[in-house]
Amino acid sequence: MFGYAYALGDFIVERTVAARHGHNFVVHTAVELGLLGLLAYASLVLTLGWSLLRMLRAARRREIPPWVGYLAIGLNSVLVGRMIEQMAGKAQISDWALTWILAAMIFALAVSHVDRPAPQEDLPASSDEDGSGMGQRKRRLARQAARPSRRSNAAFNPLRVTGAVIIAVIALGFWSQAVLSNIRSAFTEADALAASSAGRPTDAFLLLQRSVEQAPGWARARLYLGAALRNSARVETEDALQVRVLELAYEEAVAVIDRNPLDERAWSLAAEISGDLAVLDPAFKDQAIEDNLTLVALVPNRWRARLQLAWAYHRLGDQDRALDAITTARALGAADDMFAGFFYYTEARVLRALGRTEEADAVIERLGGYSDAGAQALFRELVGGTAG
């Protein structure tokens, strides 16, 4: 959720790393999970710190082996270091894996050694003669020393074993549905992209369908499938078939929106598809404009959304509104972007449609200064196929 919240601020950014992460664990967690989520993580950190403190105190009383105390000192330094690092860093999957391994190690040590103090014979004789309360503390430790045997016997309690097995089965089923299915879908999606790159569009399309079936909630697979359907509609010769294929593509984008109404990727795809539908059937015009305006409302400071709105207006014949959207996109930094070829292409077409030929020629000249292949192809289209 951070990327969506960040886009609503006064930041002129696109799909950069900075726009996808807060680079501060507390800020990022607060935006994504709210106050309760932040309190949950804070409780985990405090619990880890308390477990380490218990180990250090037990080591000071010589109730655990010395090496455990030394290890607790090192783990305490690691925990503090991780917390400091996350105040100004971006957590990756490997970082989180190390954090959870660290947490598991601390809890395992706490359970294995702190809760099992040294045998009673290693303790000094109980005495209260000095009035310091040492005898009372030693009696308490002696009572604790007797607990491990009772716990070890209870560990083989059939009810506990049965409960553990039931919980493990439920957890395994949940993991296979919520996690494993997404992993399988991701591998299938990777195969689809490889097939597309190898020039096998049919195989890629079938693999994308299988990827969506494996994980219906996996947004990226649906977006790829929607884009593939949109591309396939372009080769259809009959308008009715194009409309039907585009409607199927639109359904994939809507499925992602239903799951996450703030996913601007899905709104962008939906706006592009509804624009294609509106060109074929004027009945979709209102839907196309609504989808593009929704995208702009989600990311008001991103010029690409404004440019997409301008392109939709241009295709639907509303050149004045298209020019207004282009003007806003320029104010948001579109003209200074290194990949602004399509911006100049759209502006030139709108100006030509308005009859402002000289201004359009100046924009086309700016477009010709871009060296990437995509911009040059757009430039050649505008100048009538001649090189320049």
Q: What is the pLDDT of residues 151-193, one digit of tens each?
A: 445 556 788 888 888 998 998 888 888 788 888 888 999 999 8
Question: For 47-93, what is each residue's pLDDT tens digit?
Answer: 988 988 888 888 888 888 888 888 888 888 888 888 888 787 766 66
d(CA 229, CA 219): 15
**3-class SS of residue 186:** helix
Give the pTM.
0.64
Q: How far apart are CA 290 and CA 287, in angstroms?
A: 5
Q: Is the pLDDT of residue 195 over 70?
A: yes
Give the DSSP letter of residue 112: I
Helix (H, G, I), strand (E, B) or coil at 155: coil
Handedness of CA 174, 175, 180, 186 (dihedral sign): positive
Residue pLDDT, tens place only, 327-383? 999 988 888 777 788 999 999 999 999 999 999 999 999 998 888 888 889 999 998
Q: Which residue reads 């990756």 in tokens?
A: 92
Q: How far is CA 90 from CA 22, 82, 152, 379, in A?
A: 8, 12, 43, 40
pLDDT (tens digit per residue) in 314-323: 999 999 999 9
How high is the pLDDT of residue 18?
55
Return the sign of the alpha-carbon dihedral for residues 228, 233, 236, 237: negative
Residue 184 tokens read as: 């399988």
Residue 123: its pLDDT value, please?
44
What's the CA gap between 150 and 144, in Å, rounded? Answer: 11
Q: Is the pLDDT of residue 251 over 50?
A: yes
3-state secondary structure of 217: coil
> Nearest-CA neighbor of 292 among 329, 237, 335?
329
pLDDT-above-70 percentage for the chain: 80
Q: How far apart are the first and last CA of the chain?
A: 45
Q: Are 321 and 327 in contact (CB under 8 A)?
A: no
CB crowding 60-76: b at 16 or more within 10 Å, else e:
eeebbeeebbebbeebb
Model confidence at 386, pLDDT cuts 50, 70, 90, reads: very low
Please check whether residue 196 is in contact with residue 243, taking contact to mean a CB–CB distance below 8 angstroms: no
Interval 82-117: pLDDT, tens: 888 878 776 666 677 778 888 888 888 877 765 555
Q: What is the DSSP letter of 95?
A: H
Closest C-alpha among 124, 122, 156 to residue 137: 124
